[in-house]
Amino acid sequence: MGAPRDRSSPRTAIRAATGKTQDTTRDAGPAVVAHSERPTHLMAELQRTLLLVKPDGVQRQLVGRVLTRFEERGLKLVGLKLVWVDKTLAEQHYAVHRDKPFFRGLVDFITSGPLVAAVLEGPNAIEIVRAMNGATRPHEAAPGSIRGDFAVETAQNLVHASDSPETAEAEVALWFRPGELLEYGRDIDRWVLAPGE
Ligand code: CMP
């Protein structure tokens, strides 16, 4: 039997890029997270970022292997779900590519089957997840990265991750309702995170 869930972990305050403090029970929002009790001089800010294992990853049965990599790195899963996304959400998510020639194909592809949406939390999580995914075009992705190990085509590049704090904040809010993001402590955190995180 596993250890009981820790519901007594210190309440997490959320600090948006604006510097405002928000309550995660009311707002899923920001990508930058800071425990209210953390000594700020010691460690990088905790960030939250959106990860999608796109329909090709689900169909190729790579979900577990992809998520395992992030768990093993030390990032914390704070949100996770299987979604068959509709065109409206797909178009919102990829709005920045609306004028690109591949936009229609991209929306068709991302809506072609279920995908896994996750929110990962950790120090510098946005940069870490991007690096672990590898370059968008798999032939440029370093071996050892997810795309560098498992993908060969740009349109079937398995994963998506937020590329900046601003994008992470918007994407997390687009894909997850506030109540779908959970706060919990992990016993391993004292080995993974700097003191106070
Ligand atoms: P992703 O990180 O999800 O962000 C945009 C996606 O567009 C990208 O990964 C690719 O899967 C997809 N895409 C399809 N064709 C192209 C292209 N020619 N150039 C860049 N991205 C492309």
Residue nearest to atom 1 of ligand 1 (CA): 160
Distance 196 CA to ligand 1 centre (A): 38
Domain ranges of the chain: 12-192
Is a pLDDT exceeding 80 seen at residue 106?
Answer: yes
What does the pLDDT read at residue 55? Answer: 98
Q: Choose one of 137, 157, 158, 171 to mutate for the ligand 1 pocket test, by most ligand atoms within 8 angstroms of C-beta.
A: 157
Kindly provide the residue ranges of all beta strands, DSSP E only, lying in 16-166, ordered along the sequence: 21-23, 32-35, 46-53, 76-83, 115-123, 159-161
Model confidence pTM above 0.75: yes
Tell me phi and psi for residue 106, to 5 degrees. Answer: -65, -45
Residue 33's SS3 state is strand
Distance 136 CA to ligand 1 centre (A): 7
Is a pLDDT exceeding 50 seen at residue 14?
Answer: no
Distance 3 CA to ligand 1 centre (A): 42
Residue nearest to atom 19 of ligand 1 (CA): 154
Under 8 Å CB-to-CB from 4, ≥6 apart: which residues? none
Among 4-8, 36-40, 41-45, 122-126, the minimum mean pLDDT is found in: 4-8
What does the pLDDT read at residue 44? Answer: 78
* Choice between 21 and 118, residue whose per-residue pLDDT is larger: 118
Assigned superfamily of 12-192 = Nucleoside diphosphate kinase-like domain (3.30.70.141)
Residue 168 amino acid letter: A
Closest CA to 151 of 49, 48, 65, 50: 65
Distance 154 CA to ligand 1 centre (A): 6
Q: Is 90 in the pocket of ligand 1 (CB under 6 A)?
A: no
Decide: 57 and 44 in contact? Cβ < 8 Å. Answer: no
Q: What average pLDDT score do residues 105-132 get?
A: 98
Minimum-distance ligand 1 atom for the alpha carbon of 54:
3
Closest CA to 46 of 15, 9, 7, 72: 15
Minimum-distance ligand 1 atom for the alpha carbon of 102:
15
Considering the chain, what is the average pLDDT of its residues?
A: 85
Residues serving a catalytic function are 160
Q: Choose one of 136, 147, 150 to mutate for the ligand 1 pocket test, by most ligand atoms within 8 angstroms of C-beta.
A: 136
Is a pLDDT exceeding 80 seen at residue 33?
Answer: no
What does the pLDDT read at residue 185? Answer: 96
What does the pLDDT read at residue 22? Answer: 38
**32: its two tokens:** 């930058």
What does the pLDDT read at residue 45? Answer: 86
Q: Choose one of 140, 154, 163 to mutate for the ligand 1 pocket test, by most ligand atoms within 8 angstroms of C-beta.
A: 154
